[in-house]
Structure formats: C-alpha cells, structure tokens
C-alpha cells in the first residue's frame, strides 16, 4: 500500500492532459467532487505519472472508444479496450499505472470517500470501504450515462455553470454509486413534509436573486434551517421538482418576459437569464415550452 500523500488527484495533473475542463460540486456541503473532461485527438499519449495515494475514487467515463494498458498494484490487468458509453473505476488507495495508447475523450470524476460518507443520513451508518467494479472493467450504466450527458453543456463554460445544478448532479451520482456499487441499502426514512410557507418563500426569493446559478443547495438549506438532504426532499414535496429544475423554469419565465417586451437578441437574453449560451438557452426553452424561443417570439408578435 503506498503512503498517503497530502495532495489530491482532483486536477488530474498526473494524466498530463493540458487544458482539461473541470466543474465542481458540493455533496451535502461536506465534500467536493469534480468532473473533468480530458481530450486528446492523437494516439500514443504514453505513460501517465504516479498518482497521489488518497481516500478517493475515480470514475472514468468514455465519450469514445479507448485502447490502453493498465497495471494495478504492480500487476498487469487485461484490458480489452474501454467502449464509448461505459465507465471504469479506480481506487486511489491502490497503486495503478496506465499507458494511454489511443486517442481519447473522457469525463473523469474525482470522488473523495468523504462524499460517500456524507450520505450516511440517508443510506445508514455503514462505512463503504470501496466500490465493487473491478479495475479495468467496462461498466455500462444508464444512470451514469444520463448524469454525464446532463453535465456536458457545463464543460463549455465551467465558470457559468449553475452551482445548484452541479450540486444536484453530484449528490445523485454519489448516491447511485453508493447504492449500486457500494453495498449500501437505502434505509426507510420518516415520511418527509414539505417546506413551511416562510421557508418556501425564502427559497424562491433566493433562487430569483441568483438566476446566474451562484446559489448552492447548502446555502438554501441553511436559510431554511435544514440539512441539505432534508431541504431537497422537502422542496420537491412542496413544488413537485428539485431546486435546480425550479431555477430553470424561473429562468424560462424571465426569458419569456424579455422575448415579449424587448428586442434583445437571443444570445443576450440567454446570458441575462443565466444560461451558458444561446444553444443551452434554446434547448432548455424548447424542452419547457415546446417550441424554440425564436419561433415563440415570432408567433407572439404575429
């Protein structure tokens, strides 16, 4: 077992990939997980540097087929290629080395063990020592695939990504990994109640004041004097949706007002309503309203 370092592998610097795009999320305000998109269009990247030993995991999701070699604790692991749409798992408490032979496009999650431990309120107190996928195994999981897909627009503008949405994805990912691959059983929780009127009103005001996405689940929960997990459940009971979805609909409401009352171009409306760009705005608007913002404005005027 290698000695534990004081640093972290969060920035994936040992992989020697420049200009990685990274977003970060808080899990119940007790740990930070990150997701980095790493791309190389030419083969023979070569051997990676030695990672730091730490209590953390890496989930490596492939956006295209990949070929390489891997050694875990000094032993070569048979790797018949990693396929697009699948993920592989690595425990940073173990020593592993990789020779990256093909081009690659992947999303790597850095997940501290503390992020899994933070879920004890919902999953029970049993410590999850590690996750079950074998090193180098190619795991196809529709939930992980869906969460990666939801994150993809955020990589285009990490600094503008909604913290509320990132926190929701981080919590969902860690819960799914713990239950599906960490032998954690979701215990029966007391029947939750919705937010009190003052809590719901305060939450809505805070979201409306931060449509740029700078408010977090932890901040909303603290304003309501609740734990983040209790707050998230109560908010969904009160509104029928998670907080990030409520924020998206409020952004759409603001966009409709601007579309109807101004001649601002769609790109300006997108940014003023907290969307990453016009493309992100168009997708979200069309999904919520059933037509594109340009067509909606044209129909309104005609």
pLDDT in tens, 284-293: 899 888 899 9
Q: Which tokens go with 192?
A: 């939750």
Residue 254 sits in the same domain as residue 166: no
- Residues 155, 165: contact at Cβ < 8 Å? no
Q: What is the CA radius of gyration of the chain?
A: 21
- Residue 4 counted as domain residue: no
In this prediction, residue 28 has a pLDDT band, given cuts at 50, 70 and 90, of low
Helix 243-261 crosses helix 293-301 at what angle (to 10 degrees)? 40
CA 221 from chain centre, in angstroms, equals 19
Q: How far apart are CA 50 and CA 104, in angstroms?
A: 19
Same domain (yes/no): 124, 253: no
Q: Are residues 40 and 132 in the same domain?
A: yes
Q: Are residues 64 and 205 in the same domain?
A: no
- Same domain, yes or no: 110 and 224: no
Domain count, the chain: 3
**Is 188 domain-assigned?**
no
Whether 2 is covered by a domain: the verdict is no
Residue 256 within a domain: yes
Residue 95 is given by DSSP the state -
Determine whether 15 is exposed, middle or buried from the number of CB atoms within 10 Å of its CB (0-12, 13-18, 19+). Answer: buried
For 125-172, how does the pLDDT look when each residue is reduced to its tens digit (9 = 90+)?
666 777 888 888 889 999 999 999 988 888 877 776 778 888 888 888
Q: What is the pLDDT of residues 174-200, one digit of tens each?
A: 888 988 888 666 555 555 688 999 999
Last residue of a domain, one of 132, 148, 181: 181
Question: Which structural domain, as residue segments, surrounds residue 297?
Answer: 245-301
Answer yes or no: is 213 within a domain.
Answer: yes
Element (H, E) at 59: strand 56-62
Residue 35, domain CATH: 2.60.120.10
Q: Read off the CATH number of the domain in which 290 is found.
A: 1.10.10.60
Confidence class of residue 1 from pLDDT cuts 50, 70 and 90? very low
Say yes or no: 68 and 101 in one domain.
yes
pTM attached to this predicted model? 0.74
Q: Are residues 19 and 94 in the same domain?
A: yes
257 and 228, same structural domain?
no
| Residue 5 pLDDT > 60 | no
Are residues 271 and 289 in contact, defined by beta-carbon separation less than 8 angstroms? Answer: no
Classified as helix, coil or strand, 100 is strand
209 and 131, same structural domain?
no
CA distance 73 to 56: 16
Boundary of a domain, candidates 222, 240, 258: 240
Same structural domain, 256 and 233: no
What pLDDT was estimated at residue 3?
35
Domain boundary among 189, 220, 240: 240
**Considering the domain boundaries, does residue 124 fall inside one?**
yes
Instruction: Please give the order of strands across the beta sheet that includes 75-77.
Output: 46-47, 96-100, 68-72, 75-77
Q: How many CB atoms lie within 10 A of CB 1?
A: 8
Residues 142 and 252 in one domain: no
pLDDT at residue 110 is higher than 50:
yes
Mean pLDDT, the chain, rounded, equals: 85
Helices 228-239 and 197-208 sit at what angle, rounded to 10 degrees? 90
Q: How far apart are CA 207 and CA 203, in angstroms?
A: 6
| Residue pair 199/220 in contact by the 8 Å Cβ criterion | no
- Burial category of 168 from C-beta neighbours within 10 Å (exposed 0-12, middle 13-18, buried 19 and up): buried
What does the pLDDT read at residue 190?
57
């Amino acid at each position: 077992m290698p000695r534990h370092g004081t640093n972290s592998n969060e920035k994936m610097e040992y992989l020697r990939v420049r200009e990685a795009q990274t977003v970060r999320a808080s899990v119940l305000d007790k740990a930070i997980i990150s997701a980095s998109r790493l791309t190389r269009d030419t083969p023979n990247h070569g051997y990676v540097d030695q990672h730091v030993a730490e209590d953390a995991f890496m989930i490596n999701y492939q956006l295209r087929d990949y070929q390489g070699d891997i050694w875990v604790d000094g032993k070569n692991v048979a790797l018949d290629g990693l396929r697009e749409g699948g993920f592989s798992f690595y425990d940073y408490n173990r020593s592993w080395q990789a020779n990256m032979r093909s081009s690659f496009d992947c999303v790597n999650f850095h997940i501290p063990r503390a992020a899994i431990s933070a879920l004890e309120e919902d999953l029970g107190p049993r410590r999850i020592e590690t996750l079950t996928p074998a090193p180098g195994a190619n795991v196809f999981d529709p939930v992980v695939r869906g969460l990666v897909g939801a994150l993809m627009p955020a990589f285009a503008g990490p600094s503008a990504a909604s913290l509320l949405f990132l926190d929701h994805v981080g919590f969902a990912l860690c819960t799914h990994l713990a239950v599906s691959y960490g032998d954690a059983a979701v215990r029966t929780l007391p029947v939750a109640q919705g937010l009190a009127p003052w809590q719901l009103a305060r939450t809505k005001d805070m979201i409306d004041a931060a449509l740029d996405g700078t408010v977090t689940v932890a901040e909303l929960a603290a304003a309501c004097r609740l734990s983040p997990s209790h707050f998230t459940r109560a908010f969904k009971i009160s509104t029928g949706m998670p907080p990030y979805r409520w924020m998206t609909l409020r952004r759409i409401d603001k966009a409709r007002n601007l579309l109807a009352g101004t001649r601002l171009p769609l790109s300006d409306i997108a940014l003023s309503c907290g969307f990453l760009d016009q493309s992100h705005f168009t997708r979200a608007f069309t999904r919520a309203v059933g037509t594109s913002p340009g067509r909606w404005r044209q129909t309104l005027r005609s």
